[in-house]
Amino acid sequence: MVTVAERMPTMKSPADGETKAAVQIRDLRKAFGTQTVLAGINLDLAYGKTLTIMGQSGTGKSVLLKLIIGLQKPDSGAIQIGDSEITQLSVSELNKVRMKIGFLFQYAALYDSLTVEENVSFPLRRHTEMSKSERHDRVHSLLSRVGMQEASRKMPAEISGGMKKRVGLARALAMDPELMLMDEPTAGLDPIKAGEINSLIRELQQERHMTAIVVTHEMQTVKAVSDSIAMLHEGHILTQGSFEQLRKSQDPFMSAFMREAC
């Protein structure tokens, strides 16, 4: 069977000895009218690692994800994904890059009129030439991996919030992405369900050696899925490092945030 990865361009990891990042962001700026949201963001994310971006509500975390996937245009700055600097790409060129990216929306964003199976199959039907049987096999493999195979014929209205997150994760993985973007993956879930989603995200990332960017304000998620953490504050990256490094930060805002969050 031909895999999804064989049907689409790939975001290659650097050769041994090279240090090029999977995602590089330089002096990224975005304002809406007179409100400056991002005032010069600089970030590097290594291949196969998970970067978590945290910060207070309204600081531009979700805006940053939308810029990375090209749903919005920055006012200035550069976003390099693999070998592609995406801010100057045409729509058709940008769509080729998007084929390598999976996006888990904050509330899963499932299509209400489609079953669970049809939701996961949607990107495969739209973007590949897979046969019906190939799509069926891939979808059921993904649903099985996220523990949702028994719900394949259910409608989104018939499943819980945590189950919708699992289906959304399966759909985001359908095209075998090399970069995953996740917007508040545990928002609205109780601690037990959130812990299950966090464990699943980490397991899948390690199994598939994916590069991932996670936006969250949930400290349980930060601790569970992160290789590194960036604090977004007043339009800038205030600091970046491991959880322990951020916990021991002497910056007054960082100290207060970590103390309240933990």
Please give the structure tokens belonging to residue 127: 């973007």
β 76-81/84-85 pair status: antiparallel
pLDDT band at 182 (very low <50, low <70, confident <90, very high): very high
Q: pTM here?
A: 0.86
Please give the structure tokens belonging to residue 145: 């991996």
Res. 261: pLDDT tops 70: no
Res. 171: pLDDT tops 50: yes
Res. 42: pLDDT tops 90: yes
Mean pLDDT estimate for the chain? 88
Q: Which segments of the chain belong to CATH 3.40.50.300?
A: 22-100+178-262
Question: Please, which residues have CB within 8 angstroms of residue 52's CB and are 6 or more apart in sequence?
Answer: 213, 214, 215, 216, 221, 222, 225, 226, 228, 229, 230
Q: What is the pLDDT of residues 89-148, one digit of tens each?
A: 999 999 999 989 999 988 788 999 999 999 999 999 999 899 999 999 999 999 999 999
17 compared with 125, residue with greater pLDDT: 125
Amino acid 106: pLDDT: 83
pLDDT > 90: what percent of the chain?
A: 63
Phi-psi category of residue 21: left, alpha or beta, with phi > 0 → left and psi -120 to 50 → alpha:
beta
Amino acid 17: pLDDT: 43
The CATH number of the domain covering residues in 22-100+178-262:
3.40.50.300
Res. 258: pLDDT tops 70: yes
